[in-house]
Structure formats: C-alpha cells, structure tokens
Structure 1
Amino acid sequence: MLDSILQFDLDLFKILNNNWHSPFLDWLLPLWRDKYFWIPAYILLTAWLLLRYRLKGLWCLLALVICVGLTDTLSHRVIKKQVQRPRPCKVLNQDAGEIRLLIKCGSGYSFTSNHAANHFGIATFLFFLFFGKAPRWRWILFLWAASISYAQVYVGVHYPLDVFAGAILGFLVGWSVAWVFRSKIGFPDQIPTA
C-alpha cells in the first residue's frame, strides 16, 4: 500500500513539475516560495496588528511566533528526522528529464514541507483568530498558503505528499494555537489591556 502511495506521489510530482509549467510561472514561483519575498507582507501584518490593536496586537504576534515555532519544530526537528525522505531533487535525474529544478536543492529531508506547515499554520491561525470578521476574504489566506505549497513542488524541492502533510500539520497547529488563544485570551478586540 505504501509503495502504491509513493508511486502515485512520484507520478503526480512529475506531472506538476515536468508537464504543467510556463515561462511566467518559472519566473514567479521561485520568488513566490522564497521566505524573503514575504517579508514586506509580514511587516505590514505586524504594523496592522500593532496599529489596530496596539498592545493587544503583541499578543497576536506572540501567538503567531509560537504557531510558526511549533510548525517549524515539529516538521523539521521531529517528522523529517524520523521519516528521512530524500528530496526529489536529490534522487531524480535532471539530465534525464525526471525533474525540472528551478532553485538550489535544499540540504535537508523532504517530508514534511516546512514551507507548507509554516504558511498553513499562519493562514489557519489568522483564519480562526478573526472568525466572523471579513468572512469572504479570510479564505484567501488558504489560497495563499496553498500557492506557496504548490510552488515547492513546481520548483522541484518537494513531492506533493510532502506539502499535503505539511499543510495538514500547519492546519492542526494553527487551529490549536488559535483555539487556545481565543479560549484563554479572546478575540483581539476582547484582549484585556492589562
């Protein structure tokens, strides 16, 4: 059964990485999945939380840091070290056309994707933290996280199963942190100032 799942994962990887590409996405997705590309968005989010909620926004930022710390630690230090799945860019032959590698191949293991876990953790935390506020726009957070996760497969550094598992991990951690935050502290508008 595991062999069938891994074969399906490899076949899907080859479709997403080798067949579904374009010059525009070849340019965009290496940037899109780069953590430094999102620094301006993180700065804007930080500024918005601090300006909108002031001291209360610090609680939100602390919870976000905890969320990303948990997803990153669980993915990188626990799951990857136990599973030890090599990255596709380490085992597939680029010269034989098995993979299109658009960025430098990472040095660590592949399962689970930290990018997927971290971004789905952020998206899920914010989605549930602001539950009831901007209900239509909150879904964009998951589209954002999914697009970054897809980019990991597109550029050749993760298999689809890696990003899917990372997304599940991120969702569970983000939901858990948001649940604790909301049950112990409340919505940002309800956070006590003292």
Structure 2
Amino acid sequence: MYLPQPLVEWDKHLLLFINQHNSSWLDSFYWTLSGSLLPIVFGIVLLFLLVKDNGVKTIWYLIFLGLTILLADNISSAIIKPVVARLRPSHDPSIMNLLHFVHDYKGGMYGFVSSHAANTFGVALFLSLLLRNHLLSGAFFLWAVLTSYSRMYLGVHFPVDIIGGMVVGLLAGACCFLLMEMLAPKILKSQNLETPPYLPSRERGYFLIVYGATFLIIAIKSFF
C-alpha cells in the first residue's frame, strides 16, 4: 500500500504516542474493550427492549443490522486486507520492536482496514439512524470510538487503518439502513415498519444505565 511519506511518519508517530502512554490499568481496560463483552451485553439489553415494545417486527431491524455487520466485516477482512496487504504495526519491522503489547497479542498479518472500526462504526450509524435519539447515538458512537482506540493502544492498528475502517463501516451502515427503508415496506406490505421503532424514554434510560454501569464495572475491574 502506497502512502505519502509524511503521512506514513505521522501514522507511526501518532501510534507510538498512543501505545507508549500505557499502564497496567489501561492494558486491562482496553483489552476488555477490544473483546466481545460490550457488544454482547449491549446487544442483549437492546434486543430485549426492542422485542418487548415492537414484537416480531424487531426481526426486520435485526436482519438489516446483521447485514451491516456482514457487509462491513467482509469488505474489510475478505476484500481490502488481502488486496492492500498493509502490515499491521505489530508485524511491521520498522516499528514492531518499539511497541508495547498486551498478553503478547499481535493479531493477523494485515491491518488495513480495521474490521473492529468498520463493524462498530457500521453498527453505531445504523442504530443511530434507526432509533433517532441523541443520547443513544452518543452512546453508540462513544463505544465505536473507544473500541477503535483500543486497537491502536494494543498496537495492532495504525491510525490510518482505523480511519479506513470507520469509512467502510459508515458506508455499510448508511447503505443497509437505506436498503431497509426501501425494501421493508414492499416485503411487509400491510404491516407498518416504524422507524424509529417504539422505545419509551424510560426504557432508553434503562439501556443507558446498563451502558454506563458496564463501563464502570470494567473500569473498576481493571484495577485488579
């Protein structure tokens, strides 16, 4: 992958700045954020609330959300990474010996674009367009930003990898949401697929409480 030399240097310097400002607490915190715990917890809670208030129509939201993840993940992992073949910083001889790694995790060989960034930003945009609530949108995008940042902290992605993944994810999320809006009424015909789906303010509050509590528990647990 060709990048102008000034951009390559900026990419490396910013990564080193992020990666070398480390501590045992941050190691544990970002290691957990980079894993699957948060999307599982948030997904279960949000799914329960949507099913409770919207019934079987929730399956259509899930189909297109799943399509967003499938599209973002496959474009980033199955197409762009092997074609571009840009080494992860953890496998790049020019920088890998300068990096701090957590649990000796170095990821696969290629890093452009970041699948974590693509998936999380795709999900964040799709859910933001679907639910149309500023607080929820802020929560979704904060999760995407922190997850993406964790990949740089762990030394397995350059900033440009993250930016590329973010673009792929946002495009996937927007395309899948527009596709849902176009196709769902024709498929469901007489049924009304509401966007945004019904989600009372009290239940939005429940989700945000679980969201904040999960981050707090991870932050406290990271001290031990």
Q: Specify the TM-score bucket, using the shorter chain as the normaliser.
A: 0.7 to 0.9
Residue equivalent to 2:180 = 181
Q: Where in structure 2 are the equivalents of 1:14-163 lying within 5 Å?
A: 14-18=16-20, 20-92=21-93, 96=97, 98-103=98-103, 104-131=105-132, 134-163=133-162
Q: Is the 8 A contact 1:17 1:153 kept in 2?
A: yes
Closer, same or farther in 2 for the Cα pair 1:85/1:119, shift >3 Å?
same
Residue equivalent to 1:11 = 13
1:93 CA displacement: 7.5
1:166 CA displacement: 0.5
Residue 136 of structure 1 aligns to a residue whose secondary structure is helix
CA distance in 2, matches of 1:135, 1:167: 20
2:147 partner letter = I
Please, what TM-score do these two structures have when normalized by structure 1?
0.87
Please, what TM-score do these two structures have when normalized by structure 2?
0.76
CA distance in 2, matches of 1:129, 1:8: 36
Closer, same or farther in 2 for the Cα pair 1:95/1:135, shift >3 Å?
closer
- Unpaired segments ≥5 residues, structure 1: none
Residue equivalent to 2:164 = 165
Residue equivalent to 2:191 = none
Residue 137 of structure 1 aligns to a residue whose secondary structure is helix
Deviations 1:93-113 (A, max 9, x none): 8895x1011141112410000
Closer, same or farther in 2 for the Cα pair 1:143/1:95, shift >3 Å?
closer
Larger Rg: 2
- Unpaired segments ≥5 residues, structure 2: 185-193, 199-224
Identity %: 29
Deviations 1:53-97 (A, max 9, x none): 11110101111110000000000011101110111111258895x
CA distance in 2, matches of 1:13, 1:118: 21
2:145 partner letter = A
Higher alpha-carbon deviation: 49-58 or 32-41: 32-41
Closer, same or farther in 2 for the Cα pair 1:137/1:95, shift >3 Å?
closer
2:163 partner letter = F
Residue 58 of structure 1 aligns to a residue whose secondary structure is helix
Closer, same or farther in 2 for the Cα pair 1:182/1:130, shift >3 Å?
farther
RMSD: 2.0
Matched length: 186
